[in-house]
Structure 1
């Protein structure tokens, strides 16, 4: 029996009057601006005929003063509703005759146009879960449109968290002209276009279906790769296959996440309040490109790892701005009581620090990651492995990148795109712990009590947080760009190709993360103050040096997406004082800015956040420390040997130190008064001038990095080739660096971090200046000797003499120990 039209309209008005006061739009996409042509009426298109969605669109139009959705549009062939829907029947996906008639009416009236605005309504943004319970089936905002009871329950439960996603207005006449080719009917093509748009929007917001955790794990152990590993494990341990299968199931439950919509919702609310309590604001940059890729690409977020806050903050931001929260690879050390189950329900899946010696675990984890990517779930992991205790980007670990590449090779589906993310803090929660770990070399094991102790700091000011999205890297396009014949090489030399590709991919992603760095006031002030001899500087000079650093970045940026601070140097310094980072002393001859020895150690972490942005600028400034005049060719010859290792250590991308780029840097220095142009040469300012002091301050920022390289190479050169191993050279260089800090009265454990020397050796091996024999001993040739000879000219005689004497005494002591 057909319900009369007036009764249906009366019921709709009654439902609107009853539910309208309850509905709140949690977030609304930027509302589209209709075209200026007032003669083209607006028609809203929904995916389906659900009364709840129609009600939401009418409220949206009324509250935001958009063209009404409950009016009728007059066309030459009759009247049409301003609110249409694509599918008449949600189960069979049959197209709506009303929308088809509208398209044909506009096609028969070329002088009349209509603007289509597709609108997707989300009641709670909960993805469908397989084998869900009755309550979930009643309340889930899933892919198929549910029955009336389910929709009613959805509206009641989620009335205050409704999201509307209107698309851009589209000219219907334009679509008709585009698809009406060779006399073919444009109606089905336009409707397929709308269907793809709705599908992409839903996939972007709620992701694919969530399999029940138990169902997913049992599927994993049935995959061919895992069953092969189970057979091998049973044979290797000489145990029944069923026992090996149970072990694989245990690994699966240990790894798999258990994403829960209620937990995500609660965490979203709690974390929003936590950020308000902790930070002055969370700033997000360059998000639009990520939003455009979501829904059509498999996204893998690769943020830098500076704090435990990273993964919570990124998931919260993505969810807040309408994207599905990613599944996050977390260390097994976080799978602890209370914390572990909560993180697992927020999307974390756990991994062991090493897979070595356990092929079955490796197979289960590989398959789990592959299934996540294959289903289209966004994934997040930290390519550095652990948190950076030094504040700089750590060398990427190959494990997760190798598994992601392997998954993509197994089945090419949608494009797989890496999203580099830079997260910059003005004050990090774990700062005191990082200092302690650098001094002792020991990392404390995580525990719920230790993590909860962070709550003691909630009353302290922590400034702002900056989250910047770097240039996305689409894997297939990047491989084609690197080497068009990579497919052939991957078939002929798979192991060598994978090893080289993973190394290059890790370096590229780390470089893109660094290229999106945000220059916070704390990092800038740390860079200037730590460049002084006694960690004290005149406040007026501090202001001018801060302005100089920002101006140099405007002239020659250190990265493609660098974010400069807003405001003036005076405000930046006052902000650092309010955070307790520096102190100001009032003196009769002018105010001074100073930091204690303990605080100076902490500031090295913040300086290292942006050190890479000034690597080239500081290297040029340091070159003029011991050279009064240089032209571009002389400068290039002087600093070129140090640049490849510096670029590798600080992840500066593939920028070459060309003469044109050096000339740009020199011109920028001249514009800021740091150098003076003298014909074809540049000269440093006269002694005892402020400009000379500012040049010296800038050069000192790169001095520790150059000193470490000089100590390592000087130590190596005092032994014949084939006499030192990597570990012995790194340890001896570390001891020299530690001794140098003690002699200079510095409290800087980051200066002699052994990982920096290991990274430097990796860079030298990558450049081909060092190589190891089959016994692990290092060899070199004349090229490295020549590079050291050039690098000596960078240092002034006093500093060069001190470093040389230290390495000589160290070598003598080492040889005496061997003789004994």
Structure 2
């Protein structure tokens, strides 16, 4: 029978404690019912033992209750690892278990009192929460009493003794098993609590005293001892300006605070892919790289990770957020602050670089935004190299035996964001307003508005060593050299790969879908019935196929999605005797464009194919592939799309999907547009999704070909193409500011250079006849009115320079 000495305590514990987070689920543990189960605790603790007895009985797992009976030869159901610092005077339970020679499965169990997030927070819960300090009896009693309702339990994968034995001596086998279990417990503890948090002053002092920082000080001091001392003090100020001051009590406080905020702000948080992080946490250094759409991003991701039993990361935040009240709280929650530019500040740059290196080398997880700032247009911005370059440099400074470093791409999708008004104002040319506590109070006044749901999707992690093995096989020769010659190109490829993995993790929500459908109409108004059919088409094109992870679709019907967007104030629904109408005014359309741009890349190939049938009813299959293939890599780059392994195979699959939807009809060796009016309109709407991106590329190429090779430099062509796009936008009603976004034209030029369409000689852009020929073939895709406007503008430019005797070709040449 079970040990009756602790029965009253066990009953009290069973009535009092509540497990808020436990993993894995009992059915996922994979226990062999034919083998005896022995649970292993990292240290002897009566509270943990009694708790485990309660949990195993409740969940139908093999019992952890210690049973006492004469002649009982069964292995003990529970044991604790011996303290390796103490000399054992008698054989341990683990040694007895090994000497019995019976095969058993060892299940490691980690219990955290007060670490699991809960709704309550205050002085006593903060004091009693788990951390890296050893827990005495009095403090454990306090933890049970105060945090018994906020409990977290982690069960590890079973470890079979027979797989470890291999004819070993029992003493050696005991040491091996104990070592494996201690490694597991340490990794779980690091995953939940993070690496041990050093005192902030000690960390800053170590940064300032590092050889790298000292070398920079010596170089700037130039032998002047007084100046050297001033620079040393300045380095200390920089360290205090930068460094986080993360603490477990602050994390607990923020968890309670943010839990209340999300409950008021959102209808719910949908989380997908977190298992990918849990598989790496504890033995990989993790660098989270989410898309940056809102100030909410870093708070939301930290909250979600904490809720899932993972240590929140240290977060790189702009210095503009280090404001009174807010800055100190963010700093204690893990934020470290950086200036927007390091240019002309070599000592600051060195201090920041050394601080980042020390965080990574100690195994702390990081979070930063590779876009550099929030996306005002809603699309993923081109990655910036700064933080990625410093992370790569830190990785190369570590010895080859260092722990692996993995990037974790994260897509965050909103149905409404708090910054809608400010983004629209800034895209229209308004100045960015400075963050301040008063501005935060203004945001609090909008918390009662509806904001729908928010999605957090974890993409496919990227192991840095594996990435370098693929793209720079000789990288190990550069260990210890933070700035190898190939670093810039590797950072560029790394940023692009991460951006594509972020976008690959995107999923659709009702607002995205409604925006994709409604904004594909010429006047942002459509019959409700047609919009519902278009939303059903968009959903069907992204419905997961068998064996494909796909993109989960939002629940409900197209009509439900329209009603949801209407409830969020993003459109108007107008009943009409001849058929209800859905419309968006200028303000609503500007907001919807932001949400459309979040997921536009998901329909790039389908939109490209539909656009090809806009002015031509029929295309041969091979002719269509030849027409679309040259521009596809440029489209991939601008929209950060993961390239298909085989473009023609992906094209065939898309054509088949559109035929299945009734929009195209296969005809011999080609395809033709369906003749029905409704189907033709749906195909046109699908093609309009990608139209602005294609037209922007056509504008840039037309501007380039309108002059002789070598006429433009990079900045000159980007500026001219942007002015051309802005002019056409005003003349044709394309009032979306992102149509003439300067950064998009810079990205287009980079794509043309990478694909070999452009070469740079003496800072001038040169092109070959192949580009002119490709432009001539693709011009049939575009509206004749657009081509005519471009030719008229080019003709006026030629006439204005006629006296100089220069020759310029027209886009139609």
TM score, norm. by length of structure 1: 0.91
Corresponding residue number in structure 1 for 2:535:
546
Instruction: Measure how far apart 1:36 and its partner are.
Output: 7.8
Instruction: Measure how far apart 1:442 and its partner are.
Output: 2.7
Moved more, 780-789 or 314-323: 780-789
- Does the C-alpha gap of structure 1 residues 186 and 683 become closer, same or farther in structure 2, counting only changes over 3 Å? same
- Does the C-alpha gap of structure 1 residues 237 and 681 become closer, same or farther in structure 2, counting only changes over 3 Å? farther
Q: Is residue 397–residue 480 contact of structure 2 (8 Å, CA) maintained in 1?
A: no
Classify the secondary structure of the residue corresponding to 1:459.
coil
Classify the secondary structure of the residue corresponding to 1:78.
coil
CA distance in 2, matches of 1:150, 1:587: 69
Q: Is residue 124–residue 158 contact of structure 1 (8 Å, CA) maintained in 2?
A: yes
Classify the secondary structure of the residue corresponding to 1:738.
helix
- Does the C-alpha gap of structure 1 residues 15 and 675 become closer, same or farther in structure 2, counting only changes over 3 Å? same
Q: Is residue 669–residue 675 contact of structure 1 (8 Å, CA) maintained in 2?
A: yes
Q: Which of 149, 152, 156 pairs up with 1:167?
A: 156
Classify the secondary structure of the residue corresponding to 2:446.
helix
Corresponding residue number in structure 1 for 2:230:
243
In the alignment, is residue 642 of structure 1 matched against residue 636 of structure 2?
A: no
Q: Which of 330, 351, 354 pairs up with 2:341?
A: 354
Instruction: Measure how far apart 1:816 and its partner are.
Output: 9.8
1:63-97: CA deviations, max 9, x gaps? 5454443232889873554221112x374486994
The residue correspondences of 1:472-487 to structure 2 (distance < 5 A) are: 472-487=461-476
Moved more, 233-242 or 329-338: 233-242
Corresponding residue number in structure 2 for 1:206:
193
Corresponding residue number in structure 1 for 2:112:
122
Corresponding residue number in structure 2 for 1:131:
none
- Does the C-alpha gap of structure 1 residues 815 and 401 become closer, same or farther in structure 2, counting only changes over 3 Å? farther
Instruction: Measure how far apart 1:583 and its partner are.
Output: 1.4
CA distance in 2, matches of 1:52, 1:798: 78
Corresponding residue number in structure 2 for 1:280:
267
Corresponding residue number in structure 1 for 2:726:
738
Corresponding residue number in structure 2 for 1:510:
499
Q: Is residue 396–residue 482 contact of structure 2 (8 Å, CA) maintained in 1?
A: no
- Does the C-alpha gap of structure 1 residues 812 and 551 become closer, same or farther in structure 2, counting only changes over 3 Å? farther
Q: Which of 509, 513, 524 pairs up with 1:524?
A: 513
Q: Which of 765, 787, 793 pairs up with 2:780?
A: 793
CA distance in 2, matches of 1:627, 1:258: 62
Q: Is residue 44–residue 119 contact of structure 1 (8 Å, CA) maintained in 2?
A: yes
Instruction: Measure how far apart 1:105 and its partner are.
Output: 5.3
Corresponding residue number in structure 2 for 1:420:
409
The residue correspondences of 1:26-105 to structure 2 (distance < 5 A) are: 26-33=20-27, 40-64=35-59, 66-72=61-67, 78=73, 80-87=75-82, 89=83, 91-92=85-86, 97-104=91-98
What is the CA RMSD across the aligned residues, in angstroms?
3.1
The residue correspondences of 1:224-373 to structure 2 (distance < 5 A) are: 224-235=211-222, 240-373=227-360
- Does the C-alpha gap of structure 1 residues 45 and 280 become closer, same or farther in structure 2, counting only changes over 3 Å? same
CA distance in 2, matches of 1:817, 1:604: 44
Corresponding residue number in structure 2 for 1:755:
743
Moved more, 565-574 or 298-307: 565-574
Q: Is residue 241–residue 337 contact of structure 2 (8 Å, CA) maintained in 1?
A: yes
Classify the secondary structure of the residue corresponding to 1:240.
helix
Classify the secondary structure of the residue corresponding to 1:458.
coil
In the alignment, is residue 653 of structure 1 matched against residue 642 of structure 2?
A: yes
Instruction: Measure how far apart 1:780 and its partner are.
Output: 2.2
- Does the C-alpha gap of structure 1 residues 767 and 444 become closer, same or farther in structure 2, counting only changes over 3 Å? farther
Q: Is residue 526–residue 607 contact of structure 1 (8 Å, CA) maintained in 2?
A: yes
Instruction: Measure how far apart 1:31 and its partner are.
Output: 3.7
Instruction: Measure how far apart 1:60 and its partner are.
Output: 2.9
Q: Is residue 298–residue 378 contact of structure 1 (8 Å, CA) maintained in 2?
A: yes
Corresponding residue number in structure 1 for 2:701:
713
Classify the secondary structure of the residue corresponding to 1:336.
coil
Corresponding residue number in structure 2 for 1:3:
none
Q: Is residue 138–residue 150 contact of structure 1 (8 Å, CA) maintained in 2?
A: no
Corresponding residue number in structure 2 for 1:132:
none
Classify the secondary structure of the residue corresponding to 1:599.
helix
Q: Which of 427, 446, 461 pairs up with 2:450?
A: 461
Q: Is residue 61–residue 69 contact of structure 1 (8 Å, CA) maintained in 2?
A: yes
Q: Is residue 426–residue 465 contact of structure 1 (8 Å, CA) maintained in 2?
A: yes
Q: Is residue 582–residue 595 contact of structure 1 (8 Å, CA) maintained in 2?
A: yes
Q: Is residue 126–residue 142 contact of structure 1 (8 Å, CA) maintained in 2?
A: no
- Does the C-alpha gap of structure 1 residues 427 and 807 become closer, same or farther in structure 2, counting only changes over 3 Å? farther
Instruction: Measure how far apart 1:759 and its partner are.
Output: 1.7
1:161-214: CA deviations, max 9, x gaps? 2211122344x4xx3244333667533322222222211111111111101111
Corresponding residue number in structure 1 for 2:121:
none
Instruction: Measure how far apart 1:101 and its partner are.
Output: 4.2
Instruction: Measure how far apart 1:435 and its partner are.
Output: 0.5
Q: Is residue 126–residue 206 contact of structure 1 (8 Å, CA) maintained in 2?
A: no
Q: Which runs of 5+ in 1 are unaligned?
A: 1-5, 128-134
- Does the C-alpha gap of structure 1 residues 492 and 764 become closer, same or farther in structure 2, counting only changes over 3 Å? farther
Q: Is residue 140–residue 154 contact of structure 1 (8 Å, CA) maintained in 2?
A: yes
- Does the C-alpha gap of structure 1 residues 656 and 35 become closer, same or farther in structure 2, counting only changes over 3 Å? closer
Classify the secondary structure of the residue corresponding to 2:393.
helix
Q: Is residue 556–residue 665 contact of structure 1 (8 Å, CA) maintained in 2?
A: no
Q: Is residue 333–residue 446 contact of structure 1 (8 Å, CA) maintained in 2?
A: yes
Q: Is residue 470–residue 561 contact of structure 1 (8 Å, CA) maintained in 2?
A: no
CA distance in 2, matches of 1:816, 1:58: 95
CA distance in 2, matches of 1:196, 1:508: 32
In the alignment, is residue 402 of structure 1 matched against residue 397 of structure 2?
A: no
Corresponding residue number in structure 1 for 2:19:
25
Corresponding residue number in structure 2 for 1:612:
601
Instruction: Measure how far apart 1:813 and its partner are.
Output: 6.2
Instruction: Measure how far apart 1:607 and its partner are.
Output: 0.7
Q: Is residue 544–residue 550 contact of structure 2 (8 Å, CA) maintained in 1?
A: no
Q: Is residue 126–residue 141 contact of structure 1 (8 Å, CA) maintained in 2?
A: no
Q: Is residue 41–residue 73 contact of structure 1 (8 Å, CA) maintained in 2?
A: no
Moved more, 488-497 or 303-312: 488-497
Q: Is residue 415–residue 510 contact of structure 2 (8 Å, CA) maintained in 1?
A: yes
Corresponding residue number in structure 2 for 1:130:
none
Q: Is residue 46–residue 85 contact of structure 1 (8 Å, CA) maintained in 2?
A: yes
- Does the C-alpha gap of structure 1 residues 401 and 38 become closer, same or farther in structure 2, counting only changes over 3 Å? closer
Classify the secondary structure of the residue corresponding to 2:244.
coil
- Does the C-alpha gap of structure 1 residues 695 and 616 become closer, same or farther in structure 2, counting only changes over 3 Å? same
Count of residue pairs brought into register by the alignment: 795
- Does the C-alpha gap of structure 1 residues 374 and 38 become closer, same or farther in structure 2, counting only changes over 3 Å? closer
Moved more, 373-382 or 441-450: 441-450
CA distance in 1, matches of 2:803, 2:378: 38
Moved more, 755-764 or 67-76: 67-76
- Does the C-alpha gap of structure 1 residues 670 and 347 become closer, same or farther in structure 2, counting only changes over 3 Å? same
TM score, norm. by length of structure 2: 0.91
Corresponding residue number in structure 2 for 1:179:
165
Corresponding residue number in structure 1 for 2:756:
768
Classify the secondary structure of the residue corresponding to 2:782.
coil
Classify the secondary structure of the residue corresponding to 2:455.
strand
Q: Is residue 106–residue 114 contact of structure 1 (8 Å, CA) maintained in 2?
A: no
CA distance in 2, matches of 1:145, 1:9: 29
Classify the secondary structure of the residue corresponding to 1:186.
helix
Corresponding residue number in structure 1 for 2:120:
none
Q: Is residue 514–residue 535 contact of structure 2 (8 Å, CA) maintained in 1?
A: yes
In the alignment, is residue 723 of structure 1 matched against residue 718 of structure 2?
A: no
In the alignment, is residue 599 of structure 1 matched against residue 588 of structure 2?
A: yes
Corresponding residue number in structure 2 for 1:563:
552
- Does the C-alpha gap of structure 1 residues 752 and 186 become closer, same or farther in structure 2, counting only changes over 3 Å? same
Classify the secondary structure of the residue corresponding to 1:205.
helix
Q: Which runs of 5+ in 2 are unaligned?
A: 118-123, 807-813
Q: Is residue 32–residue 168 contact of structure 1 (8 Å, CA) maintained in 2?
A: no
